[in-house]
């Protein structure tokens, strides 16, 4: 009986010591199992947010470059002739829309205006304006430098505005308005002449323009 009592006492002492707070804390400090899983749980949400955020930013930048290139092409085509008729205007608008290459053409607005300076000290005079879809205000040519607009040479201002809907990863607003303006000098005359024209578009090849 005495031996049994001593064995039970020794076992109780060993269990007490094994479960002491000091031993338990040391045991958990030295246990490295599951560290990788904890690190992944902390880092993964941040990496996922960064990935989708960068994807949305990259998509927006790519579309903005298309808008910029389309405005450049539009202005370049408009300045290659001394005057433009409705057929010329339709071809310019069609080419511009093909360059911008978007599905929602109704969200693309175009404004092309030709200016001359009649005389020193006089305000700029419009020699024609072309519009597609929304009117986003007239361009103020009165602040242009005399190297761009003077009595001897006019200027053509080509503007594009595109209401872009991102890929909806909720990092940007639902709609972003991308704008671009290009100012080019006429190639074959002092000024480019055309009538005030309003255009409508059904597709890249279905563009109609009239005075």
DSSP state letters, 36-57: HHHHHHHHHHHHHHHHHHHHHH
pTM value surpassing 0.85: no
User: What phi, psi does 174 have (nearest 5°)?
Assistant: -65, -30
In a domain, residue 77? The reply is yes
What's residue 23's pLDDT?
62
In a domain, residue 37? The reply is no
| Parent domain of 47 | 43-202
> How far apart, in Å, do the first and last CA atoms of the chain sit?
118
β pairing state of 197-203 and 125-132: parallel
3-state helix, strand, coil in the chain (%, to 5): 45, 25, 30
In a domain, residue 139? The reply is yes
What's residue 173's pLDDT?
59
In a domain, residue 11? The reply is no
In a domain, residue 151? The reply is yes
Domain count, the chain: 1
What's residue 175's pLDDT?
80
What's residue 5's pLDDT?
47
In a domain, residue 208? The reply is no
Mean pLDDT per block of 10 residues along the chain (211 residues) reads: 51 50 58 68 80 81 93 94 92 93 89 91 91 89 88 93 77 78 92 92 87 78
In a domain, residue 31? The reply is no
């Amino acid at each position: 009986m005495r031996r049994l009592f001593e064995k039970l006492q020794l076992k109780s002492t060993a269990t007490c010591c094994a479960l002491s707070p000091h031993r338990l804390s040391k045991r958990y400090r030295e246990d490295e199992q599951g560290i990788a899983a904890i690190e992944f749980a902390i880092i993964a949400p941040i990496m996922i947010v960064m990935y989708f955020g960068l994807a949305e930013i990259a998509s927006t930048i790519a579309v903005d470059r298309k808008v910029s290139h389309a405005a450049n092409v539009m202005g370049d085509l408009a300045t290659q002739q001394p005057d433009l008729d409705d057929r010329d205007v339709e071809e310019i608008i069609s080419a511009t829309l093909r360059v911008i290459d978007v599905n929602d053409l109704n969200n693309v607005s175009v404004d092309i205006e030709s200016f001359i300076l009649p005389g020193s000290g006089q305000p700029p005079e419009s020699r024609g304006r072309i519009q597609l879809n929304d009117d986003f205000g007239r361009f103020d040519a009165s602040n242009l430098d005399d190297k761009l607009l003077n009595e001897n040479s006019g200027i053509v201002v080509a503007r594009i505005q595109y209401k872009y809907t991102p890929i909806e990863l909720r990092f940007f607003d639902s709609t972003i308005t991308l704008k671009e303006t290009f100012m080019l000098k006429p190639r074959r005359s002092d000024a480019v002449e055309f009538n005030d024209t309003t255009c409508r578009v059904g597709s890249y090849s279905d563009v109609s323009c009239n005075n």
